Amino acid sequence: MSQQEREQALPTARRGGAVWALVITSVAGFMAALDNLVVTTALPSIREDLGGALHDLEWTVSAYTLTFAVLLMTGAALGDRFGRRRLFLIGLTIFTGASTAAALAPGIDSLIAARAVQGVGAAIMMPLTLTLLTAAVPASRRGMAYGIWGAVNGLAVASGPLIGGSLTEHVSWQWIFWLNVPLGLALLPLARLRLAESHGAGARLDIPGTLLASGGLFGVVYGLVRGPSDGWTDALVLLALFAGGALLAAFVLYSTRAKNPMLPMRLFRSRAFSGINAASLLMFLGMFGSIFLLSQYMQGVLGYSPTEAGLRMLPWTGMPMLVAPIAGILSDRIGGRPVVATGLFFQAAGLAYLASVVTVDASYGSQLPGLILSGIGMGLFFAPASNLVMSSVRASEQGIASGANNALREVGGALGIAVMASIFSAQGGYETGQSFVDGLQPALVTGAGVVAAAGVAALLIPSRRAVAEDVVRGASEEARELERVS
């Protein structure tokens, strides 16, 4: 770490240190992650109140996913350039204000617009939570801190349907958005007082790279989101996918030649950085798609209410709260690679087991081992994965590394829902309980295979010592280059 970076990190300790940073970033991350799936179980109530066709209801989910995934790297780059705490506060303000607008929405169109703005705010603040936390916590304790942060974020992703269903069933659907408002209002002064300002060393705003990355991600995520409902041969879906892919290819080509690119392609020459990002994308592909279908299976086939279904998913969704802090401590002691790989293989085994036992009248006891295995696997993944991402790059590059990893996770989630929905539709459907199971089983088998492939990718990550030596070597080369230029 350079002298400038050490000086930037010192004020964080004086303002409250690791505990406050952990609380602030975990709650902010929870809010952003929760809104990925919290709306899904509220859609019937929203339609009853606000009207709208099926595609309008789908956009209340997709509008958030789209802006969130597209702008994650941009949010991280803006934080590096203009100040991470400043941009975190701006993102949190946008997210809280948009949550208020969503709760007060008089019609379906205004709700969709508010959801899109929510995604903008989340994209700005989410990657900065990890950067701010890293700056505040000593390296020797980061595994445990990432464990708690990862547990809270994992719980938010997995419990979205439960929280959304419970609030909709017992209060009103507006409260899935009102929930964010007091949390956001409480975090704003705390973040202003307890977090220190920092910047990426020598950060510049890469406008061409930002436009290419944002445009490419928009096309790809839009196509993935709309493909299952509009059809993969729809002209607009095909145009979005091809145009998005072309822009991302142009972004990669540009970034290999630019002097100060937003995302240096040399980062992917690191087996650690490439391996953990591949594992993250595949993990979210398998996990998101599986949760999306299993929550519907419990309600539509087994007849549980949204709240009952959410409670029965707790062995999966709640397990990270118990396991992730332990996983973080283990990663501090033995390194993240074995912990992440073990977690991914547990997750894959859990999904494969569930695929073997789901029937139209499956008992809850028969499903429980698969839910527990999946929950342990999720808990073992989140904390060490974050540690691996942040430790695989130089301190000055941690902001954009976090943004890139989060963007790939979101693309993986969107791809997972698209792939699982397509497999489900090809093999089954919603007509009867048996047809749902006929589609669910091959989708879960696919999810298990994808997560197992993520485990293989994690095994390819080098040892902790090799990663540390690579980062030190890169920092030395960067210092020599700067000295030569000056």
pLDDT over 90 at 2, yes or no: no
Model pLDDT, residue 463: 75
pLDDT tens by residue, 30-82: 888 888 777 776 777 787 888 776 567 777 877 887 788 788 888 888 888 88
How much of the chain, in percent, has pLDDT values that exceed 70? 88
Helix, strand, coil share (%) of the chain residues, nearest 5: 85, 0, 15
pLDDT over 80 at 340, yes or no: yes
- pLDDT-based confidence at residue 1 (cuts at 50, 70, 90): very low
Amino acid at 484: R
- Say if pTM beats, i.e. exceeds, 0.85: no
- pLDDT-based confidence at residue 472 (cuts at 50, 70, 90): low
Which residue has tokens 């990355």? 213
Determine which of 242-251, 346-355, 418-427 has the lowest per-residue pLDDT on average: 418-427
pLDDT over 60 at 313, yes or no: yes
pLDDT over 80 at 384, yes or no: yes
**CA atoms within a 13 Å half-sphere pointing along the CA-CB vector of 79:** 36
pLDDT over 50 at 14, yes or no: no
Question: 95 or 52: which carries more pLDDT confidence?
Answer: 95
Q: What is the 3-state secondary structure (H, E, C) of 48-92?
A: HHHCCCHHHHHHHHHHHHHHHHHHHHHHHHHHHHHCHHHHHHHHH
Question: 218 or 57: which carries more pLDDT confidence?
Answer: 218
pLDDT over 50 at 20, yes or no: yes
Model pLDDT, residue 473: 60
Buried residues in 285-308 as b, exposed as e (16+ CB within 10 A)? bbbbbbbbbbbbbbbebbebebbb
Model pLDDT, residue 226: 79
pLDDT tens by residue, 185-200: 999 999 988 888 877 6
pLDDT over 90 at 359, yes or no: yes
pLDDT over 90 at 342, yes or no: yes
Q: What mean pLDDT is predicted for residues 250-271?
A: 84
Model pLDDT, residue 115: 93
R_g (Cα) of the chain, nearest Å: 21
Q: What mean pLDDT is predicted for residues 335-346?
A: 91
pLDDT over 60 at 8, yes or no: no
Using CA atoms, how far apart are residues 134 and 136, in angstroms rounded to an integer? 5
DSSP 336-400: HHHHHHHHHHHHHHHHHHHHHH--TT--HHHHHHHHHHHHHHHHHHHHHHHHHHHHTS-GGGHHH
Q: What mean pLDDT is predicted for residues 141-170?
A: 75
Give the ranges where 83-141 is alpha helix by DSSP (H). Answer: 84-103, 108-136
Residues 316 and 375: beta-carbon distance below 8 Å: yes
- pLDDT-based confidence at residue 5 (cuts at 50, 70, 90): very low
Using CA atoms, how far apart are residues 272 and 280, in angstroms rounded to an integer? 12
Which residue has tokens 């690119």? 261
- pLDDT-based confidence at residue 18 (cuts at 50, 70, 90): confident
